[in-house]
Amino acid sequence: METIYLNPENLKYWQEKAKSSVMALGFFDGIHIGHREVIQTAGIKAKEENLLLTVMSFFPHPKTVLSNGQTRVDYLMPLAEKEKLFSELGVDIFYIVEFDRGFASLSPETFAAKYLLDLGVVHAVAGFDYTYGFRGEGNMDRLQKDSGGILKVTKVKKVECFGEKISSSSIREKLSKGSVGDLPALLGRSYAVDCEWDGGALKVKPYFTLPAYGTYSVTLTGGCHSQEMDVIVVDEKKLIPLLSVSDLVLNNENAVSVTWHQRIVEEGKKTISENKWLRSSKFGFVWSG
């Protein structure tokens, strides 16, 4: 899979190199089951029409740009993780558009012309609530018209779970409540984050979000080693393993992946900060109450 970063300076270059494709559109944070439905639908269309399968996403999150940085967005995964999952889903080209105020100000017709038609898109696929163009005025019901009647358009219906639409926002809400046990039904897999061991705690890497404060059962993976254990989320950037992690971090540049299974104990931030920890080894901690 090829990843292409698009901005106003290089857009013309990539337009000239573009080949015909079916494109899936969306921000795709978390690549949950609803996102997969969009991408897999686009993949089916691409095979039927013997075309490339492309995906277009945006960075940073539009809410951050449009609020002048006042709105915080808790990302579910970094771009590198998106690349990995898109590749597994059979995507040929992953376009990442630099989202800024200039891009946000494009009319729906200009977006369709410059970022779809001029990039070789002949068939666009997106969720039923996808919007584009200035103030989100464009939507899937008018995309064919905005393209001058050239584009084929497929609108993917709402995908639900627990009686609600599956969305990145609903996943963030589950995380804020510590409901990690509900996430496989929304993501199609357990939620996972990448962390770095600093000798005293696991610190979450950028563009991942930790669940609410509390004690959780998880699987820690470092290199070819995996270990099930309990961890305590101390704050929004740090968690403490309750067993030694020496086998996981040695010879692995202290990088550890944490896969979340279930919340065991709810803990308030104040309660955790008042608890005492004793170092049991060079790489682990034990709970002392």
- Same domain, yes or no: 141 and 84: yes
- Same domain, yes or no: 189 and 269: yes
- Same domain, yes or no: 120 and 23: yes
DSSP 54-94: EEEEEES-HHHHHTTT-S----SS-HHHHHHHHHHTT-SEE
- Same domain, yes or no: 94 and 212: no
Judge whether 57 and 87 are in contact, CB under 8 Å.
Answer: no
> What is this structure's pTM?
0.88
pLDDT tens per residue across span 49-106: 999 999 999 999 988 888 887 788 899 999 999 999 999 999 999 999 999 999 999 9
- Same domain, yes or no: 97 and 25: yes
pLDDT tens per residue across span 228-242: 999 999 999 999 998
Look at residues 71, 76, 127, 134 and name the one whose alpha carbon lies nearest to residue 102: 134
Which CATH number do you get for residue 58?
A: 3.40.50.620
- Same domain, yes or no: 89 and 213: no
Cα–Cα distance measured from residue 2 to residue 156, given in angstroms and rounded to the nearest whole number: 25
Judge whether 193 and 204 are in contact, CB under 8 Å.
Answer: yes
Please count the residues of the chain: 289
Which residue range is the domain that position 220 belongs to?
Answer: 179-287
Judge whether 91 and 120 are in contact, CB under 8 Å.
Answer: no
Residue with tokens 């308030």: 268
Instruction: Report how many domains make up the chain.
Output: 2
- Same domain, yes or no: 124 and 15: yes
